A and B are shown apart, each in its own frame.
Chain A
Amino acid sequence: MTSSSAASRKALSKIACSRLQKELVEWEVNPPTGFKHKVTDNLQRWIIEVVGAPGTLYESEKYQLQVDFPEHYPMEAPQVIFLHPAPLHPHIYSNGHICLDILYDSWSPAMTVSSVCISILSMLSSSTAKQRPADNDRYVKNCRNGRSPKETRWWFHDDKV
């Protein structure tokens, strides 16, 4: 299997390009609450700023998401990670990788960057403790060679947070 970090460097297909342009236009008209897309000329990598929702553990804290689109988006999920420093959360590793099923096994091409962002914010908002996942150190050590989270075999055993 080719590493997906290499795959994400491949140019976007025509379908991916046209779909991302449409998503971008829609985002500009109607961005999800709490998110800001940092405008660059790179359609294949979006940097998105997220602000913790009021009344949650992350209220007014600012984080950055990096979204990389593969050649065959939306037939493949985008790779979404938090840039350093990643929020302290039971499903977010210190290297920014996010344990969220829709980013991997449960991806569907009917989802959009916007809907993914909303899921991530909702995951943050429902957290009751600011802590790293139990296996954080082991996992981050395993990823040292620059492995993409899309190569991880995730276990999604907890749907409460």
Chain B
Amino acid sequence: MAPLPVPTSVAKQAEQLKQDGNSYFKKERLGAAIDAYTEAYYMLGLALLEKHDYSGGIKELEKALELGRGANPASYMVEEIWQVLSTAKYMEWEDSSRKRASRLQNLREVCEKALIDYYLIDASEAEDSSRENDHFQQSEYLHEVFDKAAQADTPSEVPDHLCCKITLDIFRDPVITPSGITYERAVLLDHLQRVGKFDPVTREPLEPHQLVPNLAIKEAVQAFLSDHGWAYKGPDQAPPRITSNVKHNLQFLRLWRGLDTAVPVLLVDGYNVCGYWAKLKKHFMKGRLDIARQKLIDELMEFSVLKGDKVLFHHLQQKPSYSCCGYLKF
């Protein structure tokens, strides 16, 4: 696999992380090694998505997710990788479904025209009006066939049996309890810890060690998603909301360590700032992220002129929100 289209600086960072991983591995610091590998795959995946290489990016992100999950299924990294991955899969579906739809539409127009031509020839030969009815039925049926063909690409509801009773969302990592009910692993563990040691639906006593992965449901979910890519997107059209936390920001600083670190850097979690700062919020709430973003940039420009800082943007792409960092040079 050759990640050619990736900018060399990013590729270098990812390579560096991989080497960090290798050296941690040799020193038997396995936790740190896995973290570095996870981060490397994650970065590579993001960079490929930036280049609109969906399938390549998805491949790397899936590796990152698998590694991250193995290390700690409840970590914020796993959640974030999942969010990016499902947005990527949605974009991939959107892309391919647009192509499918236009192919189908072309074929439909050709078929309809052919049917009309056929009818016109037919009508000129036989002066019989009974053919009109046949034609009408055929053209109805043609519509039906094409509507049916477009159905898989039409967003609708995810069937209940593929959704967790707690999240009401499609399963990612389903586990089954001794009562026979299937839940999303992370939230069920959260329930057992916070609410009580019982099955949320049946109220039978339940201990974490009794949970078993439900592989059949997991496969059913995969099968459903491969046919209905639209289901990767939740009801909110907004890009995934990322909570700012210091550890995370520090990690991004590490990714950008090629920068001149002697210059003060201000990290701005733009998405959250736009959602909270009253003067930006009014635009943000109306879905005009672009206006809120521009206003925030203007504010920060002014600020940076005063302070001479560099400003790193965090999660403030207009949509889709792929790249995690933008960089403003002053």
Contacts and interface: CB of A to CB of B under 8 A. Distances in A.
B194 A15 contact: no
B22 to A, nearest CB: 34
Interface stretch (B160-168, B261-269, B309-317): B160-168
A19 B167 contact: yes
Interface stretch (A105-113, A117-125, A126-134, A142-150): A105-113
Contact of A75 (B169, B191, B236): B191
A19 B190 CA distance: 15
A60 interface: no
Nearest to B167: A19
B191 A18 contact: no
A14 interface: yes
A23 interface: yes
A14 B169 contact: no
B208 interface: no
Interface residues of A, number: 18
Contacts of B235: 18, 21-22, 25
Contacts of A23: 168
B1 interface: no
A76 B236 CA distance: 23
* Chain B interface bracket (under 10, 10 to 19, 20 to 34, 35 or more): 10 to 19
B169 A109 contact: no
Nearest to A13: B243
A109 B166 contact: yes
B201 A15 contact: no
Describe B's contact surface by its main secondary structure.
loop
B194 A18 contact: no
A2 B191 CA distance: 20
B257 interface: no
B107 interface: no
A36 interface: no
B187 interface: yes
Interface in B190-214: 190-191, 194-195, 198, 200-201, 203
B167 A110 contact: no
Given A18-B235, A18-B236, A72-B194, A108 B200 contact: yes
B190 A14 contact: no
A75 B167 contact: no
A78 interface: no
B201 A75 contact: no
A22 B236 CA distance: 10
Contact of B195 (A14, A19, A21, A75): A75
A74 interface: yes
A109 B195 contact: yes
A22 B169 contact: yes
Contact of A15 (B187, B195, B236): B187
A108 B166 CA distance: 9
Residue of A14, A15, A76, A109 with most chain B CB atoms under a 10 A cut-off = A109
B287 interface: no
A108 B187 CA distance: 12
B241 interface: yes
25 contacts: A14-B241, A14-B243, A15-B187, A17-B236, A18-B167, A18-B169, A19-B168, A19-B169, A21-B236, A22-B168, A22-B169, A22-B235, A25-B235, A26-B168, A72-B194, A74-B166, A75-B187, A75-B190, A75-B191, A75-B194, A75-B195, A76-B195, A108-B200, A109-B195, A109-B200
Given A14-B243, A17-B236, A19-B167, 7 more contacts: A14-B241, A15-B187, A18-B234, A72-B194, A76-B194, A108-B201, A110-B166
Interface of A: 14-15, 17-19, 21-23, 25-26, 72, 74-76, 107-110
